Chain A
Amino acid sequence: MTSAALRAPALLLRAVAYEFRKRIQFRAGFFVREVLNGTVEPLVMLFVYTALYGSAAAIAGPGAGPGAGPGAGPGAGSEVGSDPGSDPGAAAVALGGWTYPEIIQYVAGLVVVRKLIFHSRALDLATEIFEGRVTKYLVMPFRFFVLHQGRFLQFTLMQVVVAGLVWLIGYAVAPDHWLVPVSAAATLQAGTLVLMGSYCCFLIFFTLNAMAFWLDVVWSLLVMAWFVIGFTGGALVPVSQMPAAFYGVLSFGFPYWMITAPIELLMGRLGTEDFLFGAALVAVQLVALEVLRRWVWRRGLARYVGAGM
């Protein structure tokens, strides 16, 4: 007879296999969702930074940074996008403590790191609550949460492979500009922080999904949460490039340790001491989020009657 201790891991493995099958059903969709997704914003960010450093270099004087100065639009008589980053290697200008080559590496790191972060659309718990379909899971002899952990595990396993592929492609295309980790230890440390942060995201998104017990529809909360996590983590601007007041506050949140800090670890801007501090900080927040998740789930179940719309 299978013990209860063995049943949960076996179920977890089955859930992972099932989630994999679901993901690769539509191959074009799979490619777009898992490989291309999350690359657009960093790309745009790169163009914006190139223009910004171009402007700073123009102010600092010739030869100080990304070559051409800002261009006016075609309506004003000059060409759109006059390739302000034509000479990025010469960048000596630092903005907020970051030089242009460092920012390029940051954006490259962002493309890879974002692949590993559990995203807000990956759970459909709120729909199941809204439609009253949770009941069928509640009568089964295992913890419902294991199924969702299976989804997280499947997501992580797949995205580690995807992130690895993306890193290899980036390195093959632009080896001089691409982010190459300073050491294997830094890679491990960065990976640990990203995955811990990703699990925090998973717990937050699960909890917000469970809010459907009260609110019925929660997708806007999920999107909102991602806006906040992305901005406070450094998906738009590195947190350490923000004004000191912002940095002082945001550097205590797990999003910073999930996005900006791991990239800085890979670049060698942060070291092992920072990693240990960050890991401890994120661990505390992870436990707090798990407690919150359990509390919200129990309170929600207490008012669940199995009827949906």
Chain B
Amino acid sequence: MSIVVSASSLLLWSNTFHVHGHLNFNNPMSRWRQQNLAIIRCCSRGTWETPTAQNNYYDLLGVSVDSNAHEIKEAYRKLQKKYHPDIFGPKGHEYTLMLNKAYEVLMTEDLRRKYDASIGQTRLRFGENNTPLGYSTWKGPLRPQALFVDENACIGCRECVHHASHTFTMDESHGCARVKVQYGDNDQSIEVSVESCPVNCIHWVETEELAVLEFLIQPQPKDEYGVFGGGWERTANVFTAAKSFNKQLKRKAATRSNQYPGSTVQESPAQAEARVRADMKIKMESFLKIWNWMKETLGMNIN
């Protein structure tokens, strides 16, 4: 509700105040401080489009929906350096306002989740704060290096948990340690706990790699073959797996950009409708399958 109100009133502002400043970009001396002339400008005109309609915050910052705080920060800074009114002149005002808004929302976990829900995005929670089991959180700012426990090698000795209890935790169901909070303790106790590991399974890794490693080290459901049951399996060598995973990601991204040059292909209303219908049909089919299976196994007493 509040979003609707503010969006409509933002438009209202824009429509009501069409006072343009005369902008003199030939004069480098007065790049800014021309605000005396330029009153609140309409944001739906000119080069900048209204953020709510066409662009979403991710597009605005030029980051993917699953990007982490570090990536968002970097993108935000790059754009600020280009369009901040100090550099771009008063024209950058509206755009910077949108950037600030987008940054505020995407950097605040609660707001980001709400925003994702509102635009219908789900993302893999890589490096997020309230992560599901298996992913570590960060205390303080991101650092270039992160801690990672190779759970394949871990023997569950609890030495690391003993030395740095705010950083490491014992995953009782798997019988091995893992990182709960990056830099949860001071540097010295972390150092000690890394040293204390008898099998040297605590690694310093690049922060960018962390998300992939933490994802791959989690036991994944195994496919069933004939009579052999599925169960859970963990990647044998997580580091090589991460490498190939990254390679795959790159290849996928490359093919995607080949398929949709410019990646701004808009679907027509008819196409959209067809897609929605097809999607529904697929969902219905799988639902019916389960329904039939339930009917068969649980007997006839459902109907």
Q: Do A and B interact? A: no
